[in-house]
Structure 1
Amino acid sequence: MESAASEIAIDFPPMLRAYKDGRIERFLGTQIVPPGLDPKTNVESKDVLYSQETSQSVRIYTPLNAAGKLPLLVYFHGGGFCIETAYSPTYHGYLNALVAEANIVAVSVDYRLAPEHPLSAAYDDSWDAVKWVASHRDGNGPEEWLNRHADLNNVYFSGDSAGANIAHHMAVKMTKEKIDGVHLEGIILAHPYFWGKEPIADETKDLVTRDKIDTLWRLSYPNTSGSDDQWINPIDDPNFGGLGCNRVLVCVAEKDILKQRGVYYCEKLKQSGWGGEVELMEAKGENHVFHLHNPGGENAAAKLKKVADFINNGKA
């Protein structure tokens, strides 16, 4: 007879497997690489603790020999809230490339993962990281790279998939809990992990597929009210139109199952009375987070350039 320790509670290939005894086996997003100087991009990076309480860190990126103040990007990694890390080869490579392309400072946030740390842990950690970044607004924060080079009057939040979900909610929180001396100019949401109980537009109606997405959401947030929970389906959030920034760029991929949610987000944001500028970029023939899996591709290069241009065409 199979022991309780080996009985599977949830099997979610190719990401992870959860056992009934609480053990989690992750198949993706477990590799890490150290920070340092990347000779290909001439971008430096280092890891800095932002929370003593949770022992979580950020990885900071800055161009080698950066001069003066540069726009600041706060980045939240994806992975369904359950896998990946700010220190993975995937995100380390992407942030090096983006920092070099855009000539910016970036802070890549690591947060506690579900299901060991169910939501709202990832949101709580991310907000702690934002507040830690904001502590540098007077130029006397704990990290000299940010004191010297980060322009806290020209800040962007970004992320992919679950990280894009986090970026949206952090922007909403910026309105609720104003931080003096920090100006959030825009957010960049790549293939955002939003969902809903009922299909929209030409979104899949396949019950098995929809149930799989619902299962992942419930794995990360056991206390959720379901797939219309405002954390995963923010459109009905009464604070939706109070997004605390001036500009939004949403990137979607033609073959991504989450594509319609990104399109819908843009449409509803325009109708919400928010009053800012929203742009939509679609990558034809591509799937979810293609730019991370194939960073050397033509569409990935176009997306990288679009994100860099979006940041550099913002607040002067």
Structure 2
Amino acid sequence: MATTIAVDPSLSLQIVRGGSNQHGAVIEEILGQIKVYKDGHTERPQIVPFVSPTLPLKLGVSTKDVVVDEFTDVWGARFYVPKSNRKLPLVVYFHGRGFCVGSAAWSCYHDFLAKLAAEAGCLIVLVNYRVFLAGDSAGANIAHNVVIRLGFDKPYPLILKGTILIQPFFGGETRTESEKHTVQPPRSALSLAASDTYWRLALPCGANRDHPWSNPSAKMEETRLLPTLVCISEMDILRDRNLAFCGALAKAGNKVEHVLYKGVGHAFQVLSKSLISQTQTKEMIAHVKAFLCTDYCIL
């Protein structure tokens, strides 16, 4: 039974008080986001404000945090429920940030998913990790791998209809053209160096970026998946890898749609407030809504 509880920022925030020398040398770091020490201690500065599950009444969306695993008694998901008298599609959403940082309580996800729930008319479950399955960046990778593991099994009582992958965080040992040549601003949401660090932290010991969790395109020939929408950013270093993934899906006989958003970079829909990002975010929400209403996805 779901229980409403307060936000627990400690799920994403670990800051040492009074120095870190006792943990040894820093072995991995993405400046301002995550620092890993020799003894395994990890620091994650609060780079995005945490917000409680509240929204303006005029938006027409109710939200609350719930306990998913009563054994641990830690809140595990944030629900967004738009006002409606009809049956709603359910979108299970996994947030991004390289598998290593991020929270369902981040203000940027709260704002984006509240708008998506209101405008697309869908119930959203934002998973605080660490039927449509959806996610952005690392969350899109998780959504894809969940679908791979499910295959065409039917997880009663859910009826899975499709997958929405927003700038899916994939990798590979061979660099793509966009990884080599896309110029990133100093405060880019995803640089090539940060991408490599996330993979070193996230993959099993001894694995490289061609591991199937990070490079699914290499073995897609016999993969049968749900209808998939892939949202790709033109200025993202992942652009070419995302396009190749779509091509591999289609070649394997899967239904796949992709949209390329011009003039914007990785995670623009949650991390950028520029005019072009706001315009493209509205376009993205419209595309997600249309995908939810396609003949092969409609309830």
Which band: TM-score by shorter chain? Answer: 0.7 to 0.9
1:241 equivalent in structure 2: 223
Superimposed CA distance per residue, residues 123-178 of structure 1 (whole angstroms, 9 cap, x where no aligned partner): xxxxxxxxxxxxxxxxxxxxxxxxxxxxxxxx211100000001111111221653
Query: Does residue 193 of structure 1 match 2:202?
Result: no
- Partners of 1:44 and 1:224 in 2: CA distance: 45
CA drift of 1:80 comes to 0.4
How many residues align structurally?
266
- Shift in CA distance, 21/168, structure 1 to aligned 2, threshold 3 Å: same
SS at 1:282 equivalent = strand
Q: Unaligned regions of 5+ residues in structure 2, if any?
A: 1-19, 183-190
Query: Does residue 218 of structure 1 match 2:224?
Result: no
* Mapping for residues 47-126 of structure 1, pairs under 5 Å: 47-54=65-72, 55-64=74-83, 66-112=84-130
- Shift in CA distance, 224/59, structure 1 to aligned 2, threshold 3 Å: farther
Superimposed CA distance per residue, residues 81-119 of structure 1 (whole angstroms, 9 cap, x where no aligned partner): 11111111111111110000011111110111xxxxxxx
Query: Does residue 46 of structure 1 match 2:22?
Result: no
Query: Does residue 268 of structure 1 match 2:248?
Result: yes
1:20 equivalent in structure 2: 38
- Partners of 1:69 and 1:80 in 2: CA distance: 34
Do 1:294 and 1:300's aligned partners in 2 also have CA atoms closer than 8 Å?
Answer: no
Query: Does residue 307 of structure 1 match 2:283?
Result: no
1:228 equivalent in structure 2: 210
Report the AA paired with residue 280 of structure 1: H
- Partners of 1:210 and 1:86 in 2: CA distance: 25
SS at 1:306 equivalent = helix
- Shift in CA distance, 161/178, structure 1 to aligned 2, threshold 3 Å: same
Q: Unaligned regions of 5+ residues in structure 1, if any?
A: 113-154
Report the AA paired with residue 229 of structure 1: H
SS at 2:161 equivalent = strand
Do 1:172 and 1:240's aligned partners in 2 also have CA atoms closer than 8 Å?
Answer: no
2:188 equivalent in structure 1: none
CA drift of 1:238 comes to 6.1
Do 1:234 and 1:240's aligned partners in 2 also have CA atoms closer than 8 Å?
Answer: no
Do 2:36 and 2:42's aligned partners in 1 also have CA atoms closer than 8 Å?
Answer: yes
Report the AA paired with residue 288 of structure 2: V
Do 1:254 and 1:284's aligned partners in 2 also have CA atoms closer than 8 Å?
Answer: yes
Query: Does residue 257 of structure 1 match 2:237?
Result: yes
Report the AA paired with residue 298 of structure 2: K
Do 2:77 and 2:127's aligned partners in 1 also have CA atoms closer than 8 Å?
Answer: yes
CA drift of 1:212 comes to 4.4
Residue in structure 2 matching 1:286, options 264, 272, 288: 264
Do 1:30 and 1:83's aligned partners in 2 also have CA atoms closer than 8 Å?
Answer: no
Report the AA paired with residue 200 of structure 2: R
SS at 2:36 equivalent = strand
Do 2:178 and 2:239's aligned partners in 1 also have CA atoms closer than 8 Å?
Answer: no
Alignment TM-score, normalising by the size of structure 2: 0.81
Query: Does residue 180 of structure 1 match 2:156?
Result: yes
1:165 equivalent in structure 2: 141
Report the AA paired with residue 269 of structure 1: L
- Shift in CA distance, 240/108, structure 1 to aligned 2, threshold 3 Å: farther
- Shift in CA distance, 30/301, structure 1 to aligned 2, threshold 3 Å: closer
CA drift of 1:294 comes to 2.8
CA drift of 1:201 comes to 4.8
Report the AA paired with residue 249 of structure 2: L
User: Greater shift after overlay, 182-191 or 13-22?
Assistant: 13-22
Do 1:160 and 1:190's aligned partners in 2 also have CA atoms closer than 8 Å?
Answer: yes
Alignment TM-score, normalising by the size of structure 1: 0.77
Do 2:178 and 2:238's aligned partners in 1 also have CA atoms closer than 8 Å?
Answer: no
Do 1:4 and 1:20's aligned partners in 2 also have CA atoms closer than 8 Å?
Answer: no
Report the AA paired with residue 195 of structure 1: G
The two structures, once aligned, show a CA RMSD in angstroms of: 2.4
Aligned identity (percent) is 35
- Shift in CA distance, 98/205, structure 1 to aligned 2, threshold 3 Å: closer
Do 2:220 and 2:252's aligned partners in 1 also have CA atoms closer than 8 Å?
Answer: no
- Shift in CA distance, 172/240, structure 1 to aligned 2, threshold 3 Å: farther
- Shift in CA distance, 68/286, structure 1 to aligned 2, threshold 3 Å: same
* Mapping for residues 26-41 of structure 1, pairs under 5 Å: 26-29=44-47, 31-41=49-59
- Shift in CA distance, 239/92, structure 1 to aligned 2, threshold 3 Å: farther
